[in-house]
Amino acid sequence: MDFRDKQAIYLQIADYVCEQVLLGKWPPGERIPSVRDLGVELEVNPNTAMRTYEFLQQQGIIYNKRGIGYFAAEDATDRITAFRREQFLANELPQFFRNLYLLNIDLSEIEQRYKAFVNQTFPVS
């Protein structure tokens, strides 16, 4: 995994774990990799992986069954979506709006490009 400088590593790992859940690789209710296994897989210190799991537990995305391991919560997908949506609206959207304003880009152009992106990326079968 390639880490970015502008965000804490444990938060980047949390994004990775959330993506695995959203992609169905680690389904809700199923056991996820141990702290040690995740650390080895991503080549990070187990303490960093543990910090990630503690953060995700606080968000209600994963939970620990003592002596068995960590599991994705049954409502993990909904919690991840809500958390990521809030993060996007609070952190990324203001910068996006700033760029629209500074570059004098009209919302109608964004709408057209968004529709084209959705049609190309997620075609209706």
Is the residue at 117 inside a domain?
no
Q: In angstroms, how far apart are the furthest CA atoms of the chain?
A: 57
What does the pLDDT look like over 38-86, one tens digit per residue? 999 999 999 999 999 999 999 999 999 999 999 999 999 999 999 999 9
- pLDDT of res. 125: 67
Is the residue at 60 inside a domain?
yes
Higher per-residue pLDDT: 124 or 69: 69
Contact 11, 55 (CB under 8 A): yes
The pTM of the full predicted model, rounded to 2 decimals, is 0.79
- pLDDT of res. 98: 96
Q: What are phi and psi of 53, to 5 degrees?
A: -65, -35
Give 29-80 as a DSSP string: TSB---HHHHHHHHT--HHHHHHHHHHHHHTTSEEEETTTEEEE-TTHHHHH
Q: Which domain holds residue 38?
A: 9-76
Is the residue at 20 inside a domain?
yes
CA atoms within 13 A on the CB side of 116: 6
Q: 17: domain CATH number?
A: 1.10.10.10
Q: Which residues contact 86 (CB under 8 A, 6 or more apart)?
A: none
- pLDDT of res. 122: 87
Is the residue at 115 inside a domain?
no
Q: Domain count of the chain?
A: 1
Give mean pLDDT, residues 27-35.
95
